Structure 1
């Protein structure tokens, strides 16, 4: 097989799976690993991929890559909606304070709260968020108590970031926090592409009595640029498919409750 044909096939695999390994490509094409590495180096020079340990990932999978709110909302929408509906069951009854982190799945949770929680119960909920889209969702109901954490607004996520937001969360002790994440990795933990957004997420993780992560299964095994929490720091993971392999084992060791929607 000519190199050009291999390169085309590698491009197709990256489009389908987001990553390739040197071992798999060597076996698939019947070539040496050194030849595979040369192929990957050539493709990296064209911008098609980024080499990582043991293989390569699509450039869209780079650790600092972050899609727009519109793209993220449409991606895996059905799974995210199911996750949000399931997460609603974790909201305690009675007077409760709940942080909703920035994210498309947590935004769907806010929508579910407005749609499904009756006025009398909603009046007992103090919802805290630093995300403008979530605040707008919750503000549609006159019943919820709403606390908006401020700071500089990051355009890509419409969420407050910076020292002011971090300090406000550090001064709180909410009953429960619902967090979004860009990656759930068995070693690296929870991560996001932006340093300032990670600082806010870390503050939320450390301030809440109970931490619940909402993540569809496309986030499994992913590592974004900045870690904001370890698996040992979370209490529950709500997802659309049961984790497998090393991630499942790591979650069990960390005593994380996994809920499949």
Structure 2
């Protein structure tokens, strides 16, 4: 089979299945995995598929665009409120140090921090910092970096470098997608690098995600499921999905 014929067959296979693995393609076409990766790179340049960790997905399966923060805040607002309330049970007893990721659900959590304990909160989110700054029970630290307009959060080398020197009791992290195969993912590489640093800097990692993001796989993976301790989601999560996450070692809290 000529390379051009293989490329067409790969593109058709990805389009029909939605996702294929590099190892599967190598076996199917009797070529090396290095050859398959080169094929996928060329097909991605033609916008016939999108490469992901370990394989490729149909362009229909990957969302490259991010909604702006005010728009996202109105989506599934009731579910996000319930998730934020349920996530309060994951706070360390007696206060502690928290890393709070940017996001509309994490912002709801920040607004509900109990007043009876003292909290040291570190965040890269400008809106979350604005929520926490007036609260007497919070010692606030705002991370440095370039602020993205879409998320109103600091990202970049300075942000990641600052997080690398920290250690927190709990990190509360948002995500654009979560699946057993791809882990936690987001469209933007700089956001992904920041989220990955937050995950690495905490003793425990709690993900706040409404059920519409379950099964979604965005372009850049920032954490595997075994990097995370708890998923707090709404009660619309499919039972099979919840069981799959639990089998992977996650505690699933339904709000």
TM range (shorter): 0.7 to 0.9
| 8 A contact 1:186–1:246 mirrored in 2 | no
**TM-score, L = length of structure 1:** 0.73
Residue in structure 2 matched with residue 63 of structure 1 by the alignment: 63
Residue in structure 2 matched with residue 155 of structure 1 by the alignment: 149
**TM-score, L = length of structure 2:** 0.75
Inter-CA distance 200–161: structure 2 relative to 1 (3 Å threshold): same
Structure 2: 5+ residue runs without aligned partners?
1-14, 18-47, 51-55
Give 1:139 shift: 1.0
Residue in structure 1 matched with residue 161 of structure 2 by the alignment: 167
Give 1:63 shift: 2.8
Give 1:248 shift: 3.0
Which whole-Å CA distance do the structure 1 matches of 2:182 and 2:233 have between them? 18
Q: Does 1:77 align with 2:77?
A: yes
Q: Does 1:176 align with 2:170?
A: yes
Which whole-Å CA distance do the structure 2 matches of 1:140 and 1:89 have between them? 23
Q: Does 1:227 align with 2:216?
A: no
* CA deviation vs aligned residue, 1:44-100 (integer Å, no higher than 9, x gap): xxxxxx97889773xxx7431100111100000000000001101211122410011
Question: Stretches of 4+ moved more than 4 A in 1?
Answer: 50-56
Instruction: Give the SS at the match of 1:108.
Output: helix
Structure 1: 5+ residue runs without aligned partners?
1-20, 24-49
* CA deviation vs aligned residue, 1:103-122 (integer Å, no higher than 9, x gap): 11001111112xxx22x41x
Give 1:252 shift: 2.0
* CA deviation vs aligned residue, 1:172-194 (integer Å, no higher than 9, x gap): 11000000000011100100010
Instruction: Give the SS at the match of 1:80.
Output: helix
Query: RMSD between aligned alpha carbons?
Result: 2.2
Q: Paired residues, what number? A: 206
* CA deviation vs aligned residue, 1:189-248 (integer Å, no higher than 9, x gap): 100010000000000111110000000000011011100001111000000026436633
